[in-house]
Structure 1
Amino acid sequence: MSNYALPAAAAAFLTATLGVPAVAQDGAAPAIDDSYNMVIVYGDDACPQSTDEQIVVCARKSEGERYRIPEDLRYSTDPANRSWAARVETFEMVGAFGTMSCSPVGAGGYTGCTQEMIRNAYADKDAAATVRFSQIIERLRQERLGTIDAEAEQTQRDVEMIEREYMQRLERERAAELPDEQAPPPVTPSAEGDD
């Protein structure tokens, strides 16, 4: 067997197994949800209007941000770009080991890793200056819900007024004479009870 036969066979195997694109089990591509569109607008730019088929949520940024590099891309995570203050903070944790410390040293050192990950995730989330569409959507939802009660009260008053007018019209129609009907003669008291 030659020296090149094994690599050629391995290459053929990898091409056969890895070269085929992944397809969903039912053969269809996953559906894309086009019922909403999240847009960032700058300065006094108009927000695109929502349609019956699509809801548009706009996040507004200042005009000065239009041509700047997005904040997510402005800062490097390269260790050489870390400040000395951040480097010193890491030295504070050098001696932390044992239970709830998230270190490989000491009994139970692994037990604090979940809390540390959660703490770091919340710190990153609080420090991020990115657009939070969920907050914008929640604020707009609260504004919309604030007007629903007033609209419902006005609709209830309108319905009650229409019902009242309808009932008054029915009473007038019942009290009115029909065109072919004669009015009954007035009833007069009889004189028999005057004895």
Structure 2
Amino acid sequence: MFRPLMIAALIALPAVAGAQSAPVADTAGSGTPPQRVRAVTLGVGQKCPQSSDTEIVICSTLEQPYRIPKQFRDSGPIPAKNQAWGNRAATMDQVGRAAGGLPDTCSPVGTGGQSGCALATNRQWAAERRAKQDADASVP
């Protein structure tokens, strides 16, 4: 039962292979693949250069250097239910440290809670400084 099916498949195989190797109409007309792919970043008012039979040109602008649409970029903090379990565990650990008054937590509770207040103040200052630098860099 299996042998006649296998023989029929082997006889039909050259016909299928011949049909696949038939020439395919190429849109460029040359029938050869491009030799080079070039990515070009355009400034304001520049036009994308024309591609040829041997080259594909991909253009992007400086205003939108990412392929992700602007409305989906920087959407704010990720909700806890959509975060990896490692991030959630780290958050729970930090919350537990602050609630327990462990060292470097800046908590009024516990014996080592006060040692983290200077550290927390420094982190807040650095975050405000980074935010100000980012705001200054985004203003043209």
TM class, shorter-chain normalised? 0.3 to 0.5
Larger radius of gyration: 1
Name the TM-score, length of structure 1 as normaliser.
0.27
Name the TM-score, length of structure 2 as normaliser.
0.34
